[in-house]
Each structure stands twice: as structure tokens, then as C-alpha cells.
Amino acid sequence: MILSPPVLALQAGAAASSGFLLVALRWAAPVVRRWDPASGSRAQLRLERRALLVGVLVRTALAVQLASLALFVHASDALAPMFTGAMCAAGTLSASRYGWPALAVQVAATVLAGAWLALDRADGLAPDQPLVRVKHALLPAVAIPVVAGAALQAAHFLALRPEIITSCCGSLFGREGRGGWAGLAWLPPRAAGALLVALPGAAALAALALRRTGRGASAVAALSGLAGPAAAAGVIAWLSPYVYEAPGHRCPFCLLQPEQGWVGYPLHAAVLVGCVAGVAVGVLQPFRRVPSLAGPLPALQRRLAGAAALAWTALLAGAAALVAASGLRA
């Protein structure tokens, strides 16, 4: 294992958040089975105190998870000079068989964490907290990916050795590359660019329509969920060459380098925020029928839709600015 401040911080955060979630899972089961807000019994009072503590533990753990994804990518990028063949985070992730799975699981865990936090926020808006049982029942769907991501991350860092010879991003995202990443890299550029514009643009328009009319939550969630992969494909196959001004360089991680002005951070953050906020809008939709949430829940959905629209619009504006500033012409 390579010891560095980012790695140690990641491991400490992952251990803490996993521990919090495992404790919360153990305490959540009685809440799901025996929660009765109409009861004034001593057992119900204990459950209410336990639910409050579970909420604090889960919110803390998921906040750590939201920060951990960015730190994991940053740490992978910072470790790249230690490995022969690595030029950026892509090489570090390829230095063990756990690197890419850890990244994929952490991305999924982050989206699920954002959706659960939106559900928790909605529950706190009503005086009777009508979603206590629901959010505790859904806790395993969030906790399991977070804990799995922490385990894969630990396995990845434990497997790293300075003598490892790894693959550079040129081979991973080149014509000779194998696997899904190579497939994304060599999508037809015009088609990938069309996806990058069309789906995030449609998600932004749907989110703006929801803010005006209060309708279309399912469309916002579906389009935002599709816009994430479409944006990833567009950034890799179409936008990256404009940034590097090199048609054959299609790595999304080199966008995080200072030589490129760290433009990858706002681009990737916009995709993640758009996905999380847009999906959360749809997750909340079934609970609009709850009487105590009839007023506050639509307002929360509108705020989330506004965040999604802003994120997708920022992605499109950033992509347009990068293409306009590039010396590369198709």
C-alpha cells in the first residue's frame, strides 16, 4: 500500500462512513418493523430517539461519500507519477484489478446517496415525518454500495506497488484499447457530440418545465439518468480532442491536469450534480400523495429541478466555450 495524505484521508473516511452505515443498518430494522407514530409508548419513544441517531449517522456517512468520490479521483491522479506507464488517474486505476470497479461502484453509490438524502430532506419538511419507515427500508440500497465501494477502494490501494507497470491513457482510450472505455473513445465524434448536446439539453428543458408547471418529474429523472452516460461518451469521444487539440487524445482524466486548466473538475461535477438532482426529483414523485407533503414536496422538487437545469446548462456552456477556444477544427 502506498501511504500518502489523500490515501490516508480516503481510507479513514471510508472506514468511518462504513462503520456508521453498518450501525445504522442494525438500528434501522426495528424502526421499519415497529414504527407507530400514533403510539405514545416507551418503545415508540426509544424508536424515535433511535431514528434520530440513525439519521445523523447516515447523513454524515453519505456526506463523506459525496466528498470521497472527488478525493478518490484526485488521489488517483496524484499517484500517477509513481507508476511506470501512468500519465494520469487512468493509469493508477489500471494498476490493480480493483481500480475501475471501485470507481464505478463509487459513482453509483454517490447517485444513490444523493437520492436518499433528498428523501430524508423531504421527510424533515413534514411535522409528522411520514417517510421514516420508507427511508429506513431503503437504507440497504444505499449502504451496500457505499460499503462495497469502500472495500474495493481499500483493496485497490493495498494492491498498489511502485514497481507496477501500468497502462497509459493513450492505450486505454486508443484504437488498440479493449473494453467499454475503448468503445466510448472511438464512437463517431459527431454522434457522441450530438448525444452530449441532445440529452443534457433535453434534461435541462424538462427540469425548467417542471419548475414552471410542477409536472414531468418522471421525464426529468429519466432524461437526467440517460444524460450522465451520454455526457461521459461525448466528453471522451468528442470534447476531449478539442481541449487537447489532438484528435487521438481522448482521455477524460487528463482534463483534470493543470496543463488543461483543471477544466475536467467543473465538467465532471456538472454531470454528477445533474444526475443526482434530476434522479432525486423522480425518487420524490411517488410521495406527493402523502397529505402532509402535498405543500412542501413540490417546492423541494422545483429546487432540485433548478439545480439539475443549472448543472446541465453549465455543462453545455462549458463544452461550447472549450470548443470555441480550441485551435482544433473538425
* One domain for residues 156 and 186: no
pLDDT band at residue 309 using 50, 70 and 90 as cut-offs: very high
One-letter amino acid at 317 equals: A
**Residues 298 and 288 sit within 8 Å (Cβ to Cβ):** yes
Same domain as 182, residue 146: no
Contact 308, 204 (CB under 8 A): yes
Instruction: Identify whether residues 142 and 186 lie together within a single domain.
Output: no
Domain boundary (111, 138, 167) is at 167
Cell for 229? 452516460
Q: What is the pLDDT of residue 298?
A: 94
pLDDT the model gives residue 170:
67
Same domain, yes or no, for 162 and 191?
no
Q: Taking residues 26-53, what's their average pLDDT?
A: 85
Last residue of a domain, one of 167, 196, 215: 167
Q: How many domains does the chain have?
A: 2
Considering only the C-alpha atoms of the chain, give the largest distance between any 2 of them, rounded to a whole number of Å: 72
Which value, in Å, is the radius of gyration of the alpha carbons in the chain?
21
Task: Supply 29's cell numbers.
Answer: 430494522
Rounded to the nearest integer, the mean pLDDT of the chain is 89
**Do 156 and 180 fall into the same domain?**
no
Do residue 189 and residue 264 come from a single domain?
yes
Residue with cell 438524502: 117
Higher pLDDT, 1 or 202: 202
210 vs 187: which has the higher pLDDT: 210
Q: Is the distance from CB of 196 to CB of 258 less than 8 angstroms? A: no
Mean pLDDT of 228-239: 91
Residue 325 burial (C-beta neighbours within 10 Å; 0-12, 13-18, 19+) = exposed
Neighbours of 179 (CB within 10 A): 9
Same domain for 134 and 3? yes
The pLDDT score that the predictor gives to residue 203 is 97
**Cβ-Cβ contacts under 8 Å for 170 (sequence gap 6 or more):** 87, 248, 249, 251
Which of 132, 148, 167 is the C-terminal boundary of a domain? 167
**Of the candidates 181, 270, 146, 282, which has an alpha carbon nearest to the alpha carbon of residue 225?**
282
Same domain membership, residue 247 and residue 318: yes
Q: Measured between alpha carbons, how far is residue 225 from residues 204, 207, 250 in Å?
A: 12, 13, 23
Based on the fold, state whether residues 106 and 162 are members of the same structural domain.
yes
Nearest CA-CA partner of 256 in 40, 88, 81, 7: 88
Q: What DSSP letter does each residue of 47-110 carry, written as one string?
A: HHHHHHHHHHHHHHHHHHHHHHHHHHHHHHHHHGGGSBT--SHHHHHTTSTTHHHHHHHHHHHH
Q: Is the dihedral of CA 118, 120, 124, 127 positive or negative?
A: positive
Same domain flag for 82 and 136: yes
Distances (CA, A) of 314 to 190, 201, 269, 273: 21, 10, 10, 11
Domain with 129 in it: 1-167
Residue 237 clears pLDDT 90, i.e. is over it: no
Better-scored residue on pLDDT, 314 or 170: 314
Please count the CA atoms within 13 angstroms of the CA of 156 that sit on its side-chain side. Answer: 30
d(CA 88, CA 232): 17
Q: Three-state DSSP class for 165?
A: strand
40 shares its domain with 126: yes
- Beta-bridge partner residues of 165: 84
Check whether residue 152 and residue 199 sit in a common domain: no
Banded pLDDT at 327 (limits 50, 70, 90): confident
